[in-house]
Amino acid sequence: MISRVFYHFVRNAFKLFFRLYNRLEVRGLSNVPNEGPMIVASNHASFADPPLIGAVLPIRLRYLSKESLFRIPLLGFLIRTLGAVPVSREDSQRAGAVMKLLLALLKGGESVLLFPEGSRSADGRLKPLEAGAAYLSAKTGIPVLPVYVKGSFEAWPKGRALPRPSKLKLSISRLIYPDPDMTNERERREKLMRSLESELLAMEAGADVC
C-alpha cells in the first residue's frame, strides 16, 4: 500500500517538474470536486499525459497502463505510486476485461482516468471518441470530468526518447452527469458521448473553461 506521504511527494515532484521544464499552465482546477468517484476523460497525445493529469488533479486517480512499463526501473515504481494499474497486452485488447476492471475500481470508490480516443493521437489532434467513458458513466451514474492537455504532442510525441521543454496547458471543464430522466441506457450513453466530445473540442480550440 502506497503511503499518503510518499504519494504526495511523488505527485508534487512531477508537478514541479512540469511547471519548471514545460512552463505548465492549469485552468479550471476549481471544477475538480474534493472527492470522488469520478471518471476523468482526457485527450491523449503523449506518454506525459497520465503523470501530468495525475500530478495536477488534487485526487488520486487510477488508470490502466501497459504491463511492460512497470518493468522499466524507476518509471514503473513512480507510475504505480501515481495510481497506474498494470494491464497485460492480451487484456488491453479485450474490451470486456478492461471495462470489468474499471467498473470494479469505480464501485470501490476510486476515481479513474480514461483516454476515450483509445490510443495516442498520431498528430496531436483529437481523434473520434470510443464509448468507454460514456458507458461507465451511464452504467454507474458517476459523472465525467473532461480534461484537455495542449502541447504534450509537441513535448513528447510518439517515438521520441525524451521530452522537449515545450509549454503545456491543462484545461479542466465542468462535470458531465448522466441524464437521470433518460431510462434508456444507450440513449443516455450517446448523450454523454456528444457532451464529452463537445467539451474536448471546445478546449482543443482554445475556449476558456468556466
Residue-wise pLDDT for 168-181, tens only, equals 999 999 999 999 88
Q: Domain range spanning residue 116?
A: 4-204
Residue 210 lies in a domain: no
- Residue 132 sits in a domain whose CATH number is 3.40.1130.10
CB count within 10 Å of CB 187 equals: 12
* Predicted local distance difference test score (pLDDT) of residue 94: 60
Instruction: Give the count of domains, the chain.
Output: 1
Give the pLDDT band of residue 190 (cuts 50, 70, 90): very high
Grid cell 475556449 in the structure block, residue:
207
Cell of 137: 458513466
83: region left, alpha or beta (phi > 0 left; psi from -120 to 50 alpha): left
Residue 64 lies in a domain: yes
**Res. 36: pLDDT tops 90:** no
Length of the chain: 210
Give the pLDDT band of residue 71 (cuts 50, 70, 90): confident
Residue 209 lies in a domain: no
| Stated pTM of the model | 0.90
